[in-house]
Every structure is written in structure tokens, then in C-alpha cells.
Amino acid sequence: MTAATPETRTAAAPPARPGPHPEPVVSMTGITVEFPGVKALDGVDFRLFPGEVHALMGENGAGKSTLIKALTGVNPVAAGSIVVAGAETRFTGPADARERGISTVYQEVNLCGNLTVAENIMLGSEQRRLGGLDWRSMRREAARHLERMGLSIDPSSSLDSHSLAIQQLVAISRAMVVEAQVLILDEPTSSLDAGEVEQLFAVMRRLRDEGVAILFVSHFLDQIYAISDRITVLRNGRLVEERATADLPQRELVSLMIAGKSGADVSEARPRGERAARDPEAGPLLRAIGLGRKGSVEPFDLELYPGEVVGMAGLLGSGRTELARLLSGADRADAGAIEFAGETTRLRTPRAALAHKIAYTSEDRKGEGVVGDLTVRENIVLGLQAARGWMRPLPRANVDRIVAEYIKALGIRPANPEALLRNLSGGNQQKVLLARWLATAPRLLLLDEPTRGIDIGAKTEIMNLVSELASQGMSVVFISAELEEVVRLSDRIAVMRDRRKVAEIDGGEDVGVPQLIDLIASGGQNQ
Amino acid sequence: MNRILKSRLLWPLVALAALLLACTVRRPDILGITVLDGHLFGAPIDILRNSAPLLLVALGMTLVIATRGIDLSVGATVAIAGAVAMTFIASSPDPGSVGTAVGAVVVALGLCLVLGLWNGFLVSSLGIQPIIATLILMTAGRGVAMLITGGQITTVNSAPFAQLASGFWLGLPVAALIAYGVYGVVALLVRRTALGMLLESVGINPKASRLAGVKARTLTWTVYALSGLFAGLAGLIFASNTMAADANNAGLFIELDAILAVVIGGTALSGGKFNLGGTLVGVLVITTLTLTVTVLGVSPLVTPLFKAIVVVAVTLLQSPRLRATLAGLGRTRPQEVRA
């Protein structure tokens, strides 16, 4: 029940919702997209029928965006054919695709907030009269499109004055001005709350019933099951499954998305003996009580003990990163409280968290970790030095000793403290960042995807290091998309889904990846 | 040898040497230094003295640019410093006394520090884009200076104050001693303390710096305050040179010269790594450029054109797109990626 190979793929299933047009409006066959050194898509087939909502699923790097971009002509296609409305087609870009009835609405609202709703909708489809713009008929036209969406807002109001959800719907209205046959919605719900999502879904159902084919990308499993008729699953640039939503149980979907991912080659699970027996007398190092942030992660409770690795399991966008950011002061919580070492505290900034010896490595290594133009030495001491302030520089001898120590202990290559960090490989950059935090002697270490995008050898080293740190008494939170890694390292595992913490289980030999998949798919309801 | 060739300062230094060479071709004795009344005289000494205000302004600008910022208001600050000092001296009962001169310096510098803090507040606390935040003072500042001088060009006689620009100490011009002294202290400070590294960290990757606990806001505030203070010092030297406060023309376009000096010195406008040594070379190139144009007998009207050519050349060489185009000529067409 794990890796479905392409051979076992369900053969040409009929559209779940038989419409008046049994022919697919978009049919992509054998699509291959290559970037220098990488095959982003490898022989992917994809069909989109009129009058259906088709969910495109996959983890980070599975190829969802690439497939959309291949369709709309942003990415050049190396091999394969694209048939739109019965004719072989290659679009030159999104504008070309839009003119031919394929409109895309992106995650961020790409509209002009300072223009009116009507202007935003009609931008690019202006109506002219006597050399000027015919404002009256444009407003009328815009009002007609808004009505089609079931939106009763004033077309001459400024777009800024509306909520994000309304703006999203205006973006869709704009996409539908060209009478699009195909509407691509790339994560339209990521910044909407539950009520707003329902509003969006109502519009999507209305358009679907009019015969529009909707390609829907979202990380929220509940939403996928609420709205989609069919699901295509991609993994590592390949098609794994295409099936009617009703015939694809959640558990199977999750396992299709993540199964077969290679975890680090850790020879064995963390030996049981090394796992610190939790002292029942001692309180937790950190206790989060109803901690949450609107639009980021629902309030959760969590206790972290010294000497313990707590794993976070969940799909991309499930809230695992957001949870760690709240604990590290990177984001500010707007609900709940944190107790650290028995005392209630507020972590308003990363600096405040660092003062409590809480260190956090971001999943966005390049954007939020690496200071590329500084040397390895400077990057390692950055955290320590920042805590001391600029007026009290660390003595050079201390710096050299600390740096040499960590370069040796973590096996950083090249072992040159003067090398610029941006010239190191991903794995070595990650080790330098680990060194930066370890040098501050943290009591709680939050590791967000520390093993992403680095080679197997470095993965193993980092995981062994985490294990060792915990046995020395550090409290560690370990987040990884690779469930095998989570299972192998964790003493306890918190399961996240749709921005909620849905379950918490003890780790150990009897816990495996399938059990976690069950929990993620069921939302912890079987427990 | 290889290290010299690879240095980013190679071409600015070559340019400096070429400019000086052009001068000596025209007037072989120009680089000679003579001693008169125990003071040193000659073109090199003139360059040192004339470069003093620009060096001070460019010094502050380098630190601001390192944090991904820019300070357009330094020219106006120069004018305000002069206006305050001159008005202070003119309105004092004893314009010629040392006490009055010191008072003028303290009041002027204090006000300029406040102006720098104001810029820092706009940028670091209110999050206004540096170019906009400092544009406010750039345009309003000259008005403030006009207000202080009452729209007149205030002229005063104060022998102690005049020493700032025209005095000599240990045979060297006081202006040069002040500017190069401040430069030396700051250069030492940024590399001996952790200031330089933390500034660069903020400039290279603000998000990572925040997560690492760097106090980015305080640092940003500090560099704008320093920039205001140094511009004030430059303004005092300007005012002392003419013993007049000209609200309209004092320090006019000095912000552009300072930015140019920073860029010639190899500090990228995108922030991050900065090079104070490079800024010094940039300042000397610009100052020497003016001298060369004079010596060669070219009309001073053409000096801006020369500067413009240097600006264009430097910005072009810095442009990633041009570099990519040059490097990629004949290779694959750069792929356009749209989100």
C-alpha cells in the first residue's frame, strides 16, 4: 500500500462528473521539462475535463508549479504534447494562454490595490470609444462579472478597502473576463480563513457548474476533499496517480504523496538506551499553552523536556514550521502563553528567545540562515556576537578556538574559516548554521528541515549529531518532511494537519511511517 | 602580485595614478611639497585638505550603504551646520573669542546629530525606505538653513573658527587632520569591534540577522546618526573655509560625490560588504579629478561631465544584467522566468 509505481496507475478513469463534453479540454501527454542538471518533470500525463475541479497534489519539488508553468508556456517543454480543445498547442506565455482561454490566479493577489475593483477586473481588456476609454461600459461589464461570482460589491470602490478573500475573488473575476474555459488556482486559500474559503468554494462550484475546468492547488487535505472531483498526484517530477476523489481515501493520498521518499541512511534508530528517561519529577523545559497565531497555526499545547527529541510530522503547509516560529520568537503569537523553565515568558523577538537559550534554524536556509558574503568564521560567531552587542567583540583567540572546534566536530568542508559561506555546499552551510546555534549553548534547539536539500552523508551526520545533543540534555524539536527521519530520531512525535496539532504519540520501535501517515490522513481522529 | 591584480581597488588606484600623472606631464613640479613658515604647501597637501569634507561625508555614507540604506540628506546637513555655526558666532557678543567658536561647533554638531537620529528613526523605526526618508531632509534641510540665516549669506570674522579650514598644526592643514583623524578612528572602530561584521550581516541578509539576534534597528539608527554627525563636521569645514554660511550652495551635490566615492571604492549600493579603504581612494580620485581638470586648463564646466562618465562606467560595471550579458554573449539566451 505504499509506493504506487507508474505501471499500477489507474487507467483512463472517466471524469467523476460526466459533463456535456466527455473530451478533455486540456490533455498533456509525456510532458518533460528540464532545467540545467535536473529533470523537473519526467513524462507526465495530465488531463483536465470541462466542469470539474481537479486537484493537483504533491510535496515540495514534486513538480506542481512546473506543470502549471509548462501548460501556460512559462517553462519550455522538452518533450511531450499539449492539446487544448482538440488542437496541439504551445503557448508563448501566460498572456497568450489567457487569450486562448486558460487563466491563472496566483497565490499572492497580483492586483493593484490603489485602483478600483472595476479597473482591476478590466485591466488589459479595456473598452475604447472615440480614442478614449469607455468608463461607463467598463463599469457595467465589471459589474456583470462580479455578479457572475455572486459578489455584491461596488465596482467603483477601491480594491484596498476589501478583505483578502474578496480581493482573491476579484482576481478570479478578472481571470474570467476572457471567458476562460480553464481556470488555474495556485494555492488560492493559503491566506484565507474558514469562512472566506467557503465563499471561494461557492464561486468555484458555480463556475464548475457552468462548465469551466478548474485546476486547484492546495496543501489543505480537507479542502481538497471538500471541493475536488479528481486528483492527480505528482512525486519527484513523475505522475503517480490520477483518480476520482471519491475513490481515493485520504490515507492512500498521503502515502502516494510521500511514500518512497528516501530518508537518511541512518544505520539504525536511536538506540533506546540513549534516550533519556524523562525524570517524572522535573517539569518541562518549555510549555506552550494554547499558543497560536491567526492565519498561521491554531492554538496548541506542547511540552518539551530536556534530553528529548520531539519530532513534527505533517505535510507541507500543515503548520509545523509556523509552530516552531512561534516557539522561537520569529513570529509573534497572538494567543496563549509560553512557560520556559517554569516561568511565564513572552517571546516577542528571536533575540528574546535567544536570551532564554532557544535557538531556531529556519527551513529557508538561504533566505533566513546563510549570510553568504561573510566567512565561515563570521557566520559561526554571529549568534554569539549578536548577543554580546557590537561594543564587546569576542576576543580573537576565543573566536578562533570556537570556530576550529566546530569545524572539526561537525566536519565542515572546506575546513577553512576564511572561506565565504556562499561558496560551501548546502550540507556544509547547514553545518555552519548548526555551529552558529550550538556555539550559543542553547537549551532548546528548534531544527526546521535541517536535512532538506543536502546529501545523504551530511544528513546522517546531522541526525547523529541531533541524537548526541539530546543525550547530553538538550531539548530538540526536529521538523522534517521525511517521516522516516522523524520516526528514527524522535522520542515523541507531534502530528500536524491543516495548521492544527492533531495528535501526539510516543516514539519508539513500534512506531512506523505507516502509523504517522494514518494519523496525518485521519487528522488524529482514530486515536 | 596576483593579490594586487585581483584587488577591487586596482582600477581606482590606476585612475588616481593616471590623474596625477596627467598633472605632472603638464606641470612637472606639481607634486613637489615646499615648506613655508613651518607649514607644508603643494598640490598633494591641497588634495588632502580639499578632500576633507568629502571624506567625512563619504565615511558616513559607506556605513549607511553597508546596511542597504542611503543618506541623501548629507548635503542639506552640511548647509545647516554652516548656517547654525555662522549665525551662532554672528549673534554672540564676542565673535572673535575661542569660547564662541567652540560653542558654535558644539551647537552645530549637536543639531546635526539630531538630524541624523531623525533619519535613523524614519528608516529603522517607521520602516520608510531610506531613499525616501532622507529625501525629506534633503529637500527640507536647505529651507531650514535658509530659515536660520534669514535668507542672507551670513559672513563673520572669527579667527579661531577660521582655523578649522585654513589653520595648520604640525605643518599639516587642520581640516585634513580632523577628517583623516576621524576616518582613522572609525576605520579602527569598525574592525576592532564587532560593528563592521554586524553591519555587514544586516546588509547582506536582514532576515538571517534578525533570527541570529542582531539588533538591526539600533545599528541602523547608529549609522544614520553618525552620517549626520560627520556631515555636520564637513559643513563646519566648508563654512570655515569661506567664513560664510551659504544655505543654497554649501555642500551642494556632495551626497552624489559621496555616493560616487563609495561606489568607486568597491562598496556595492546593494549593501553588505563595505570597504573604508576603497572609500578613501574614491574620495582622493574625485578630489584629484577636480585638480587635474584645473591643471590641464580644461574649463571647470566640463568637470561634471568627467564625473558623469565615471559614474556611468562604474554603474555599468556593477550592473548584474550587463555582466551576465557580457559573460553570456554567444551562449544561451537568458531564460525569462515569470512567477
Which of A358, A366, A373, A390 to probe by mutation at the B interface, max B CB count within 10 Å? Answer: A390
pLDDT over threshold 70, residue B9: yes
Would the CB atoms of B273 and A394 count as touching at under 8 Å? no
Which chain A residues touch B273 with a CB distance below 8 Å?
A: 373
Residue A394 contacts B where some CB pair is shorter than 8 Å: yes
Confidence of residue B284 (pLDDT cuts 50, 70, 90): very high
Q: Strand, coil or helix: what is A133?
A: strand
Query: Vertex A493, ends A490 and A496: CA angle to 5°?
Result: 140
From the CA of B189, how many Å to the nearest CA of chain A? 9
Q: Is 0.85 exceeded by the ipTM? A: no
Q: How far apart, in whole angstroms, are the C-alpha atoms of residue B46 and residue B44?
A: 5
Q: What is the pLDDT of residue A110?
A: 75
**Shared fold status for A6-258 and A281-522:** yes
From the CA of A109, how many Å to the nearest CA of chain B? 12
List the one residue out of A231, A254, A235, A248 whose CA is nearest residue A515.
A254
From the CA of A520, how many Å to the nearest CA of chain B? 30
Burial class (CB in 10 A: 0-12, 13-18, 19+), A471: middle
When mean pLDDT is compared over A107-116, A445-454, A470-479, the highest value belongs to A470-479
Give bridge partners of residue A132 from the DSSP assignment: A129
Report the greatest alpha carbon distance in chain A: 84
Q: What is the mean pLDDT of residues B332-337?
A: 45
pLDDT over threshold 70, residue A3: no
Whether residue B85 contacts residue B105, with contact meaning beta carbons closer than 8 Å, is answered with: yes
Q: β-strands A102-105, A53-57: how paired?
A: unpaired
Which chain B residues touch A399 with a CB distance below 8 Å?
A: none
Which of A371, A385, A432 to probe by mutation at the B interface, max B CB count within 10 Å? Answer: A371
From the CA of B218, how many Å to the nearest CA of chain A? 10
Residue B165: all three cell numbers together? 579650514
In one letter, which amino acid is A343? E
**What does the pLDDT look like over A459-515, one tens digit per residue?**
788 888 899 899 888 999 999 888 888 888 899 999 998 889 999 998 877 788 888
* A281-522 is a CATH 3.40.50.300 domain: yes
Q: How far apart, in whole angstroms, are the C-alpha atoms of residue B189 and residue B182?
A: 10
Return the residue matching grid coordinates 505528482. A234
Return the residue matching grid coordinates 578630489. B287
Q: Give the chain A residue whose CA is nearest to the CA of B194.
A: A390
Q: How far apart, in whole angstroms, are the C-alpha atoms of residue A467 and residue A138?
A: 64
Q: What is the pLDDT of residue A130?
A: 77
Q: What is the mean pLDDT of residues B245-255?
A: 89
From the CA of B338, how many Å to the nearest CA of chain A? 7
Which chain B residues touch A372 with a CB distance below 8 Å?
A: 204-205
From the CA of B108, how many Å to the nearest CA of chain A? 27
pLDDT over threshold 90, residue B306: no
Whether residue A114 contacts residue A173, with contact meaning beta carbons closer than 8 Å, is answered with: no
Q: How far apart, in whole angstroms, are the C-alpha atoms of residue A395 and residue A398?
A: 5
Domain ranges of chain B: 39-318
Which of A382, A437, A447 to probe by mutation at the B interface, max B CB count within 10 Å? Answer: A382
The CATH classification of domain B39-318, taken from the options 1.10.3470, 1.10.287, 1.10.760, 3.90.550: 1.10.3470
pLDDT over threshold 70, residue A413: yes
pLDDT over threshold 60, residue B102: yes
Domain ranges of chain A: 6-258, 281-522
Residue B36: all three cell numbers together? 613655508
Confidence of residue A279 (pLDDT cuts 50, 70, 90): low
From the CA of A163, how many Å to the nearest CA of chain B? 23
Confidence of residue A1 (pLDDT cuts 50, 70, 90): very low
| Cα A447 versus chain centre, distance | 16
CB atoms within 10 A of CB A396: 10
Would the CB atoms of A369 and B211 count as touching at under 8 Å? yes
Q: Give the chain A residue whose CA is nearest to the CA of B201.
A: A371
Residue B205 contacts A where some CB pair is shorter than 8 Å: yes
Q: What is the pLDDT of residue A138?
A: 85
Nearest-Å Rg of the Cα atoms of chain B is: 21
Residue A414: cis peptide before it, omega within 30 degrees of 0: yes
Q: What is the pLDDT of residue B68?
A: 94
**What does the pLDDT look like over B175-225, one tens digit per residue?**
999 999 999 999 999 999 999 999 999 999 999 999 999 999 999 999 999
Q: How far apart, in whole angstroms, are the C-alpha atoms of residue A378 and residue A503?
A: 41
Which chain A residues touch B211 with a CB distance below 8 Å?
A: 328, 330, 350, 360, 362, 368-369
A6-258, CATH topology level: Rossmann fold (3.40.50)
Whether residue B83 contacts residue B267, with contact meaning beta carbons closer than 8 Å, is answered with: no
Whether residue A19 contacts residue A181, with contact meaning beta carbons closer than 8 Å, is answered with: no
Burial class (CB in 10 A: 0-12, 13-18, 19+), B252: middle
Residue B334: all three cell numbers together? 537568458
DSSP class per residue in B267-291 = --TT-S---HHHHHHHHHHHHHHHH
Burial A9-26 (b: 16+ CB within 10 A, else e): beeeeebbeebeeeebbb
Residue B201 contacts A where some CB pair is shorter than 8 Å: yes
Q: What is the pLDDT of residue A273?
A: 44
Nearest-Å Rg of the Cα atoms of chain A is: 26
Of the partner residues B201, B207, B273, the one whose CB lies closest to the CB of residue A382: B201
Distances (CA, A) of B214 to A388, A489, B209: 9, 31, 5
Q: Give percent of chain B above pLDDT 70.
A: 90
**What does the pLDDT look like over A144-174, one tens digit per residue?**
888 887 788 888 888 888 877 788 888 888 8
**What does the pLDDT look like over B110-151, one tens digit per residue?**
999 999 999 999 999 999 999 999 999 999 999 999 999 888
Would the CB atoms of B193 and A391 count as touching at under 8 Å? yes
Which of B193, B201, B211, B335 to probe by mutation at the A interface, max A CB count within 10 Å? Answer: B211
Residue A438: all three cell numbers together? 550550538
Residue B322 contacts A where some CB pair is shorter than 8 Å: no
Residue A515: all three cell numbers together? 502509523
CB atoms within 10 A of CB A177: 18
Q: What is the pLDDT of residue A239?
A: 92
Neighbouring residues of B277: CB distance < 8 A, sequence distance ≥ 6 = B9, B187, B265
